[in-house]
Amino acid sequence: MTMITNFSQLDLSRRYSYADYLTWKFDDAVELIKGHIMLMSPAPNLKHQRISRELSQKINQFLYKQKCELFVAPFDVKLYDSRKSQLSDREVYSVVQPDLCVICDPEKLTEQGCNGAPDWIIEILSKGNSKKEMRLKYELYEESGVTEYWLVYPYEQAVYQFVLNPETAKYQLVAMYAEDEIATPTLFPELKIELGDIFVE
């Protein structure tokens, strides 16, 4: 097997597995979406970093001494169809690095990251995020059984909150928060996030 030490050595038309991903030795940050390579955006800008920091602080403080844990990118999350049992690395074709994710099942945590769907994923959009990338991730998170998914729009100062319907296994848009409203995750109704503190300038 050829050692992959540069992103240019990869065949973008080929389907790769998580086992392949583990062997790559280059600095470029990539994700796998159903076997296809997605080159991640350059390092997040200042606005993105501030939003991530503020959300992390508030969620971490809330989760203190609870069984659920917050993880911040870079952190590998292996995803597969929630209707299937745990798969080997060779059978897994999606690995992502969400901006923030909350995991309540310690059995999913490994030395490499998370094996299976987190309970809550938050993605903070950058100007470099394409509509195709966001659609693919939405479908992937839905199929994998991520219970709650937040999309944060920094420049619009808005948060879209999607929650998985257990009967249909499809996401429902349950709330759209803006500017200085208070956002509340369905998973943790006691957690009140004041968006005026999140969208700091």
Write the CA distances from 1 to 6, 30, 133, 140, integer angstroms.
15, 20, 30, 29
**8-state DSSP, 161:** E
Rounded distance, CA 187 to CA 147, Å?
A: 8
SS3 (DSSP) at 16: coil
At 158, give phi and psi (nearest 5°).
-140, 155
Amino acid at position 151, single letter: L
Range scoring the smallest mean pLDDT among 5-14, 71-80, 173-182: 5-14
* Bond from prior residue into 74 cis (ω within 30 degrees of 0): yes
From residue 198, give the alpha-carbon distance in Å to each of 15, 53, 122, 194, 195. Answer: 38, 9, 13, 7, 5
| Domain definitions of the chain by residue range | 43-198
According to DSSP, residue 15 is labeled: -
Q: Which of 160, 138, 11 is nearest to 79 (CA)?
A: 138
Rounded-to-integer distance, Cα 12 and Cα 3, Å:
16
Strands (DSSP E) contained in 12-157 are: 30-33, 36-39, 69-72, 76-79, 94-96, 100-103, 113-115, 120-124, 148-153
Write the pLDDT tens digit of every residue in 109-139: 999 899 999 999 999 998 767 677 789 999 9
Q: What is the CATH number of domain 43-198?
A: 3.90.1570.10
Reported as a single tens digit per residue, the pLDDT across 1-52 is 577 888 889 988 899 999 999 999 988 889 999 999 988 876 678 899 999 9
Against a cut of 0.85, is the pTM above it?
Answer: yes
Q: What local confidence, expressed as pLDDT, does residue 126 receive?
A: 83
User: Longest Cα pair distance anywhere in the chain, in angstroms?
Assistant: 53
Q: How confident is the model at residue 196 (pLDDT cuts 50, 70, 90)?
A: very high
